[in-house]
Amino acid sequence: MKAVILAGGRGTRIAEESTLRPKPMITIGGRPILWHIMEIYAEHGITDFVICLGYKGYMIKEYFANYFLHAANAVEFDLTQRTSKYDYTETKPWRVTLVETGEQTQTGGRIRRIAPWVREEEAFCLTYGDGLSDVDITRLVEAHRASGKYATVTAVTPPGRFGALQIVDGSVTEFVEKPLSGEHVVNGGYFVLSPKVLDYIEDDSTVWEHEPLRRLAADKQLNAFPHDGFWQPMDTIRERELLEDLWASGAPPWRKTPV
């Protein structure tokens, strides 16, 4: 199974970083968030990736073209012999396809442009290049297949923006810094899709989250996979710092194994 990652947007809400690099290349623990997302899938045996490029996509190409250089603990260059040696203890059984999908293309259009890589698949995964989760990808895929529908979306309750007060008789009895909003569930990314969804996408201007998902829902072809575990997008500097702190703890909640 392939995992498609949307990595072409401008990331304007985190412009402090995205003016310098594409949002999926913003680092958590010294690694691009894109790498962390790929690790989530790899922990469930999905190691064939199709990455949709757009804004500053050449930086993602450079990262993978020089992956061993970026990941090496030490590099030895012999300029006389014109050789290099990498002290590299980590190997990844990943296959990575980088596809230019246009700088101005909308999310649906990007999916449409990678049709040649997924049209013959029974199903493929899709997610955004800016959100981390401990969603059980294996169970997600199983739920999609069992549903018999064209699309499955992971449904999450977003963390609240503000601290919550519990008040009894005028006194605060409890303060929760990051409660779940409790108001609604939202699209958490981490989709599983049949290639039939490509027929719901008209052109480059199509926004995946608008007409295609609405039509799939109207056609009763959109399955929901509830997830009440960890889910955190990276839309702001504060959220990046939160993810950095979680990584620094040595047991980030989006990983099965400690770092």
Return the pLDDT at 112: 98
Q: What is the mean pLDDT of residues 149-163?
A: 82
Return the pLDDT at 167: 54
143: confidence class by pLDDT, cuts 50, 70, 90: very high
Q: Is 114 helix (H, G, I), strand (E, B) or coil?
A: coil
- For residue range 58-77, what is the model confidence (pLDDT) as tens digits? 999 999 999 988 888 899 99
Q: Are strands 48-53 and 2-7 parallel, antiparallel or unpaired?
A: parallel
99: confidence class by pLDDT, cuts 50, 70, 90: very high
Q: What is the mean pLDDT of residues 163-180?
A: 57
In the structure encoding, which two tokens stand for residue 72, read together?
Answer: 């090496």
Return the pLDDT at 226: 93
Residue 126 CA to residue 118 CA, distance in Å, equals: 11
Return the pLDDT at 175: 54
- For residue range 183-215, what is the model confidence (pLDDT) as tens digits? 678 899 999 999 999 999 999 999 999 999 999
Nearest to 106, CA basis, from 151, 152, 61, 54: 54
Return the pLDDT at 207: 96
Return the pLDDT at 81: 93
Return the pLDDT at 15: 85
| Position 177 pLDDT exceeds 70 | no
Contact (CB, 8 A) for 22 and 98: no
For the chain, domains (ranges, CATH) are 2-157+185-248 (3.90.550.10)
Return the pLDDT at 129: 97
Q: What is the mean pLDDT of residues 106-133?
A: 97
- Mean pLDDT in the chain? 91
Q: What is the largest CA-CA distance in the chain?
A: 79
Classify burial at 172, counting beta carbons within 10 Å of its beta carbon; exposed 0-12, middle 13-18, buried 19 or more. exposed
| H/E element, 103 | none
CA 245 to chain centre: 19
* Cα–Cα distances in angstroms (integers) from residue 84 to residues 45, 51, 65, 121, 185, in the given order: 32, 29, 15, 39, 51
